[in-house]
Amino acid sequence: MVALLLPPKCTDDPEVAAFFNRVYAIINLVSQEDFDTIAAAERDKTHNNKIFKQYLIDTDWYISRFSETGKDVPEDILQKRQEARESINV
- Write down the domain spans for the chain: 10-88
Report pLDDT digits (tens) over 29-86. Answer: 767 777 778 778 888 888 899 999 999 999 999 999 999 999 999 999 999 999 999 9
pTM for this predicted structure: 0.60
Q: 45-67 burial, b for 16+ CB within 10 Å, e for fewer?
A: eeeeeeebeebeeebeebeeeee
Q: Cβ–Cβ contacts within 10 Å for residue 18, how many?
A: 10
Report pLDDT digits (tens) over 37-51. Answer: 877 888 888 889 999
